[in-house]
Amino acid sequence: MQRDANRQISEYKFKLSKAEQDITTLEQSISRLEGQVLRYRTAAENAEKVEDELKAEKRKLQRELRTALDKIEEVEMTNSHLAKRLEKMKANRTALLAQQ
């Protein structure tokens, strides 16, 4: 009976030791995972900030593009108008030279 009790005590001591090791391992895992969560959260916040900045930059560039396209259209219209005026002037000059 004493031997049985000693065997059970030894088993319980071993189980206690094993449980304490498991607890230590789990606590270390918790600390490691908390660190990972913190790093991932920081990375996600930085990514969101960069995304917002890129969206703002995209809107700015799209505005600039629209402005540039409007300016191109305006310049093309002016160019077309001036080309027509030049053709009229050439035609008038040719007519004047033909009259002389």
DSSP string, 9-58: HHHHHHHHHHHHHHHHHHHHHHHHHHHHHHHHHHHHHHHHHHHHHHHHHH
- Encode the chain (100 residues) as per-residue pLDDT tens digits: 999 999 999 999 999 999 999 999 999 999 999 999 999 999 999 999 999 999 999 999 999 999 999 999 999 999 999 999 999 999 999 999 998 7
Distance CA(93)–CA(70), nearest Å, equals 34
Cβ-proximal residues to 18 (8 Å cutoff; 6+ apart), any chain? none
Beta-carbon neighbour count of residue 29 at 10 Å? 10
Q: Enter the pTM of the model.
A: 0.60
